[in-house]
């Protein structure tokens, strides 16, 4: 089957992307260099707001009560509105320069934030697609609009459940969701039936604010001597919570496929090294499960662990939600439409500059450089139904969702397509794995990441224009959405937003800080004696 011929507007969009290629490259490098992490993407969000306003968008800053979120809108008269989004958060402990050797970005240590997926490319691809779409709509008089949301804290599944609950995805004709990826089967393809599952994240807080109540007989004075009985306190509660939850992990959902539980200690200590108890400690959990029922079961176990840990250590405990995202919803009409755009655009192409950089990395690691160093899978398309068949090989027949990602919350408010464009990744070399910094660096070096950005932006623009110019395609997606939800938003099979909590912005999330030493990461970059 031959790809559908391009419309005049689609040709205009591709030309606009070519003209903006230097801008997209520079912008992607800028966001990569910011390297900001969940809920603390201040410079990244401010950059997007300023850029979008300069491009003629009306922008709401701090959308949904999240300081580093935004909602940008542009319209060309009345008509269908297409939803796109940018992500721009990285991960602590992954600071890497756009370099062919392991080194942090200037002035920082390796423990600072950095882009791993990379969301720097994801967001700039969305911006590039939106600007190309806008240029085509203006030139050809296509009615409709663009809504581009800024989505912070994706790594903890943060913003999209909140935006969904507060109406930011309502009224959209369709939503296009892109992510860089490199592993089969989800490389240069579109998700078909098996979408991501539920992702829940919460913070357990232990507070020892009445230490005199532990281990004391009624009426006994508060102990003063260092040799007196002392309440264990919040650090001990956190340790008990951490260890008991790990010990019980195999008993939570050990035989139900594709689930995981990860933890991060946010706050600990809050005491001197004297004979005083720690007054505050916090641990965050992130669970990824196929179903909401499974999410509830794991949460119940964690709650019991927190109750027991608090009782043993003289603390009280609180649970604070970071995310409650819903499982995804398929839409074959949307998937076919985006796949047609992918066939037109093709996979990313890495030129000789990119291959030279990849060979330099290989040589620096003591490997014999390959003539073609990139994974073959990154340079070809895979049909959505073929990808689905590969994905299903390792899943039980009754399992309908796998892994998690918070784009799934968008699926319940408008017809949504989720597609993947390859990011640069090196082919295996003698069975020796590459260190993690290699992938991070390839995601920041312009010659290696720009093809991903340009390819994804083109697919976004062509898909959005097809939806705007082809009422039949738009109607097919809408009808399937209504069928799967039992009547659309609010239908009998529709899952309402689960977000019943405020944005969790006040916790001790890792961030950059300004000190008398200058700008630094929350863990000091200069380690004494290093």
Is the pLDDT higher at 380 or at 218?
380
- Residue ranges, comma separated, of all CATH 3.30.70.360 domains in the chain are 199-217+227-324
388-407 mean pLDDT: 91
Any residues with CB less than 8 A from the CB of 120 and at least 6 apart, and which? 28, 31, 32, 34, 88, 90, 443, 444, 449
pLDDT band with cut points at 50, 70 and 90 for residue 184: confident
CATH architecture type of domain 199-217+227-324: 2-Layer Sandwich (3.30)
Pairing relationship of beta strands 174-181 and 81-87 according to DSSP bridges:
parallel
**Element at 204 (helix H, strand E):** strand 195-207
**pLDDT tens sequence across 231-268:** 889 999 999 999 999 999 888 888 777 789 999 999 88
Neighbours of 298 (CB within 10 A): 21
Two tokens, residue 191 = 């998700």
Q: Give the residue from 215, 173, 126, 73 showing the smallest Cα distance to 452.
A: 126
- Residue ranges, comma separated, of all CATH 3.40.630.10 domains in the chain are 8-193+330-485
Residue showing tokens 């290629």: 21
CB contact at 8 A, 438 and 361? yes
CB contact at 8 A, 113 and 90? yes
pLDDT score at 424: 96
191-209 mean pLDDT: 96
Peptide bond into 185 cis (omega under 30): yes
Report the C-alpha gap between 281 and 264 in whole angstroms: 12
pLDDT band with cut points at 50, 70 and 90 for residue 528: low
Is the pLDDT higher at 3 or at 332?
332
pLDDT value at 486 more than 80: yes
Report the C-alpha gap between 150 and 36 in whole angstroms: 14
pTM of the model: 0.95
Any residues with CB less than 8 A from the CB of 522 and at least 6 apart, and which? 510, 511, 512, 513
Report the C-alpha gap between 185 and 450 in whole angstroms: 22
Angle between helices 384-392 and 332-345 (to 10 degrees): 120
Q: Is the dihedral of CA 125, 130, 133, 135 positive or negative?
A: negative
Report the C-alpha gap between 225 and 16 in whole angstroms: 74
Q: Give the residue from 402, 441, 406 showing the smallest Cα distance to 179.
A: 406
pLDDT band with cut points at 50, 70 and 90 for residue 529: low
CB contact at 8 A, 347 and 381? yes
Buried b (16+ CB within 10 A) or exposed e, 511-526: bbeeeeeeebbbeebe
Q: Cα angle vertex 188, ends 344, 90, to 5°? A: 125
pLDDT band with cut points at 50, 70 and 90 for residue 498: very high
pLDDT value at 380 more than 90: yes
- CATH of the structural domain 8-193+330-485, one choice from 3.40.630.10, 3.30.1120.10, 1.10.20.60, 3.10.290.10: 3.40.630.10
CB contact at 8 A, 287 and 203? no
Looking at every residue in the chain, the average pLDDT score rounds to: 93
For residue 342, give Cα distances in angstroms to 135, 195, 335, 463, 477.
20, 19, 10, 9, 18
Any residues with CB less than 8 A from the CB of 306 and at least 6 apart, and which? 204, 206, 241, 317, 319
Report the C-alpha gap between 390 and 378 in whole angstroms: 16
pLDDT score at 257: 72
**pLDDT tens sequence across 143-171:** 999 999 999 999 999 999 999 999 999 99
Percent of the chain with pLDDT over 90: 83
Report the C-alpha gap between 514 and 450 in whole angstroms: 32
pLDDT score at 100: 97
Residue 260: HSE in the Cβ half-sphere, 13 Å Cα cutoff: 10
Report the C-alpha gap between 273 and 235 in whole angstroms: 12
Backbone angles phi, psi at 434, to 5 degrees: -85, 145
Two tokens, residue 426 = 């090196």
First to last CA, the chain: 61
């Amino acid at each position: 089957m031959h790809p559908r011929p391009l419309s005049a507007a689609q040709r205009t969009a591709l030309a606009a992307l070519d003209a903006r290629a230097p801008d997209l490259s520079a912008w992607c490098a800028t966001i990569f260099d910011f390297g900001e992490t969940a809920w603390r993407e201040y410079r990244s969000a401010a950059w997007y707001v300023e850029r979008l306003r300069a491009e003629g968008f009306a922008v709401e800053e701090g959308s949904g009560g999240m300081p580093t979120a935004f909602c940008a809108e542009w319209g060309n008269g009345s008509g269908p509105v297409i939803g796109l989004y940018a992500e721009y958060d990285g991960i602590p402990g992954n600071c890497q320069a756009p370099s062919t050797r392991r080194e942090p970005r200037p002035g920082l240590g390796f423990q600072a934030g950095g882009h791993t997926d990379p969301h720097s490319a994801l967001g700039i691809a969305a911006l590039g697609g939106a600007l190309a779409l806008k240029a085509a709509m203006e030139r050809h008089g296509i009615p409709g609009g663009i809504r581009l949301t800024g989505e912070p804290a994706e790594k903890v599944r943060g913003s999209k459940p909140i935006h969904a609950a507060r109406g930011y995805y309502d009224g959209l004709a369709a939503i296009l969701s892109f992510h860089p990826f490199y592993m089969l089967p989800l490389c240069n393809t579109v998700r078909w039936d098996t979408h991501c599952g539920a992702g829940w994240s919460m913070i357990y807080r232990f507070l020892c604010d009445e230490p005199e109540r532990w281990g004391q007989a009624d009426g006994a004075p508060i102990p003063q001597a260092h040799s007196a009985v002392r309440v264990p306190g919040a650090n001990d509660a956190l340790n008990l919570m951490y260890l008991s939850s790990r010990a019980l992990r195999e008993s939570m959902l050990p035989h139900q496929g594709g689930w995981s539980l990860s933890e991060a200690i946010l706050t600990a200590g809050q005491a001197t090294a004297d004979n005083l108890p720690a007054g505050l400690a916090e641990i965050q959990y992130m669970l990824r499960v196929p179903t909401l029922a499974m999410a509830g079961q794991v949460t119940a176990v964690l709650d019991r662990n927190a109750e027991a840990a608090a009782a043993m250590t003289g603390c009280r405990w609180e649970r604070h939600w970071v995310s409650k995202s819903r499982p995804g919803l398929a839409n074959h009409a949307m998937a076919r439409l985006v796949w047609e755009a992918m066939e037109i655009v093709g996979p990313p192409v890495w030129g000789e500059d990119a291959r030279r950089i990849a060979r330099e990395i290989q040589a620096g690691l003591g490997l014999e450089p390959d003539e073609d160093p990139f994974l073959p899978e990154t340079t070809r398309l895979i049909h959505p139904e073929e990808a689905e068949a590969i994905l299903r090989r390792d899943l039980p027949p009754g399992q309908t969702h796998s892994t998690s990602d918070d784009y799934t919350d968008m699926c319940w408010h408008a017809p949504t397509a989720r597609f993947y464009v390859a990011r640069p990744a090196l082919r295996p070399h003698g069975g020796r794995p590459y260190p993690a910094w290699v992938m991070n660096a390839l995601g920041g070096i312009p010659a290696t990441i720009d093809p991903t950005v340009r390819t994804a932006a083109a697919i976004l623009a062509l898909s959005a224009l097809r939806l705007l110019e082809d009422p039949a395609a738009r109607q097919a997606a809408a009808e399937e959405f209504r069928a799967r939800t039992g009547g659309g938003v609010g239908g009998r099979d529709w899952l309402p937003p689960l977000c019943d909590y405020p944005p969790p912005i006040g916790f001790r999330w890792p961030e950059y800080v300004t000190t008398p030493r200058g700008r630094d990461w929350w863990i000091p970059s200069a380690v004494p004696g290093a």
